[in-house]
Amino acid sequence: MIDWGSRAHRRETGVAMKRRKSHQTALLRVLALLLTLSLIALFLPTPISATLRNVMQVIVPLQHAMVALTDPATGESRVMSPGEIESLIRQVQGYQQQVAALSLHNAQLENERTMLLGLRDRSRSEDWNLLPALVVAGDSLAWRESKLLDRGTLKGVRSEQLALSDYFLRQGTDHGVQEGMNIVASECLVGEVVEASTNSARLLLVTDRESRPRLVQIGRLVENRFEFLTDEFILHGAGEGRMQIDNVHHDLIDQQKIQIDDLVVNADGDDRLPLAVIIGRVEAIRRDDRNGLIYILDVRSTLDLNRLRQVYVVATSENQP
């Protein structure tokens, strides 16, 4: 006689064990990523590592949470809820972006030090703050891609200030240099303030056709570290939630130096940002119809800008009252 109840129990047990093993594998990968970020921090120049002390302070409690969830010896091993998994995935993506931004920033600092032979320090201001703002409305003009913010000149927002997402780490409070560096590295650039009144401001998204072209670099994760091309490109808004890089030489595509899903990062030279920031990922690569030796890269933000609810406006000493 077949014991159907016993078979069903074994089947359910097997499914539960596979699900649990899958969660544990994903969490172990997260631990590996966090350890990689820690190693990168060890090789940063002293001035930068001192500024980024808060990065490690954010990672330590998260590492502890991972170990508690994956180590049965703690007695806390359990299957994570869908909400916890979504939150963890968002944080992991933020830390991946943090590794990329800090890797590029460190490389560029080393290049500057070599080129200038220590004759001058970086001219970038260290006096900056992150001003949180809520997105309260979209644009009244359907063809324009912008957002209305609930923060204006009365609370420090000015035209030409850049804005970052408040999505991956979800901090939601005012931050200065010490508290904010890890947030800047983890979030992505979403736009620029083009109008500011007393209590509100209009944020033009990076995807808008009228947004200012930006100098960017492209890179990817290779063996637990981010590698960037030395080439610089011009990124501009293409409308309908897209960005675009034109005039990419075919050699970079043929030799697979640029691939789908590569990260696009603003070149570390804008005084309105304290370091390089992720803008998006390469979504598609297509040949230019007018020139067969040239390619066009379609780029999308690392988050859905249509669902943007909170941002950080970056206020530096140059654009603060």
Q: What is the pLDDT of residue 114?
A: 45
**Which residue type occupies 25?**
T
61 pLDDT band, cuts 50/70/90, is very low
- CB contact set of 287 (below 8 Å; sequence gap of 6+): 294, 295, 296
pLDDT band of residue 220 (cuts 50, 70, 90) is confident
Percent of all residues in the chain with a pLDDT value above 70, rounded to a whole number: 57
Cα separation, 162 vs 278, whole angstroms:
13
For 55, 58, 90, 170, 314, the CA distances from 64, given in Å and listed in that order, are 15, 11, 18, 19, 31
Tens-place pLDDT, residues 38-57: 555 544 554 444 444 444 44
pLDDT band, very low/low/confident/very high, at 121 (cuts 50, 70, 90): very low
pLDDT at 45: 52
Q: How far apart are CA 202 and CA 189, in angstroms?
A: 15
Element housing 30 (H / E): helix 4-42
For residue range 229-250, list pLDDT tens digits in order.
889 999 999 999 999 999 999 9
pLDDT score at 317: 67
Give the tens place of pLDDT for each residue, 263-312.
Answer: 999 886 678 887 788 899 999 999 999 998 999 999 999 889 988 999 99
**Average pLDDT for 201-222:** 93
Per-residue pLDDT, 199: 94
Measure the CA–CA gap between 60 and 68, rounded to whole angstroms.
12
Q: Rounded mean pLDDT of 144-160?
A: 94
d(CA 302, CA 47): 29
- pLDDT bin (cut points 50, 70, 90) of residue 68 is very low
Q: Report residue 268: phi and psi, to 5°.
A: -80, 70
Between CA 213 and CA 216 the distance in angstroms is: 9
Write the CB contacts of 245 (distance below 8 Å, at least 6 apart in sequence). Answer: 216, 233, 234, 235, 236, 264, 296, 297, 299
**Average pLDDT rounded to a whole number, residues 84-106:** 68
Planar angle of CA 40, 186, 243, nearest 5 degrees:
115
Asked whether the predicted pLDDT for residue 202 surpasses 60, the reply is: yes
Q: Which of 223, 295, 222, 231 is nearest to 264 (CA)?
A: 231
Q: Which class for 145: exposed (0-12), middle (13-18), buried (19 or more C-beta within 10 A)?
A: buried
Encode pLDDT of 156-180 as tens digits: 999 999 999 887 766 555 555 445 6
Query: Could you tell me the CA-to-CA distances from 248 to 104, 136, 257, 291 in Å, in that order?
Result: 21, 38, 11, 11
The Cα-based distances of 144 to 140, 147, 151 in angstroms read 8, 9, 20
Its pTM stands at: 0.64
Residue 99 CA to residue 227 CA, distance in Å, equals: 11
Given pLDDT bands bounded at 50, 70 and 90, which one contains residue 223?
confident
- Cα gap 289→301, rounded to integer Å: 25
Res 119: pLDDT: 34
